[in-house]
Amino acid sequence: MCGRLTQYRGIHDFVAVLSIPDALINHVGDAPLARYNAAPTTQLAVLHQHAQQLHADNLRWGWRPHWARDRAAPINARVEKVAHGVFFRAIWQRRLIVPVDNWFEWVDSDDGRQPWLIRRADQQPVFCAGIGQFPAPGEPPREDDGCVIITADSAGGMLDIHDRRPIVLSADLAREWLDPATPAPRAEQMLLFESEPSETFEWYKVSKAVGNTRNQGPHLIEQVA
């Protein structure tokens, strides 16, 4: 996963697909998010759950433990290591969903690096499994809060675009992932065996303008020849 994504719907559009009945504690706002080119270290809208209440917060994309200040904060966590490695031990059970509309990957070509957009073929929201450090209700944000998206090996035709992909969960599994009562072994099982297959997605070339993070707007997600 190359590290660029979009969140342009409103947070309520994402939450409606999850069908979680309790009221949303919304710190993101009601307007469309309008993030057409979100890059690492920027704020992402994330969903997490406390005591059966769903919370929407803005959280920095990237996290590292306090003892790893000598390296850049990773934005992704490999599914092969995330549940049992030392690096993410402190946040492994602090599960969240990063709801996105699509994400971008780059492929080397004769004309330079060509960006591709990947989205669900049904154009429904993409629920990326993630973990992070975020404040509990009533607590102020902290400087080292942040999140990472969990990734796995690509398969099928998606391998032509990139060898890694975010782990995307169906709405039903996303609800289970968010539920604090879901045991850690069950959460790991979902990541390893139950994510959405490559057939769920479609992809196409987009403008190279997406390579500049200062560029924003719906023209970045339009298909090019």
Catalytic residues: 2, 105
Long-range contacts of residues 214-217, Cβ cutoff 8 Å, at least 24 apart: 215/37, 216/34, 216/35, 216/36, 216/37, 217/36
Q: What DSSP string runs through 148-168?
A: EEEEEE--GGGGGT-SEEE-E
Summary count for the chain: helices (H), strands (E): 4, 14
* Apex 27 CA angle, 25 and 28, nearest 5: 120
Task: Tell me the two tokens of residue 11.
Answer: 């947070």
Is 60 within 8 Å of 45 (Cβ atoms)? no
Q: Which amino acid is at 177?
A: W
- The single-letter DSSP state of residue 61 is B
Is 62 within 8 Å of 41 (Cβ atoms)? yes
End-to-end CA distance of the chain: 23
Q: Which residue matches tokens 């599914």?
A: 79
Q: Alpha carbon 170 to chain centroid distance?
A: 13
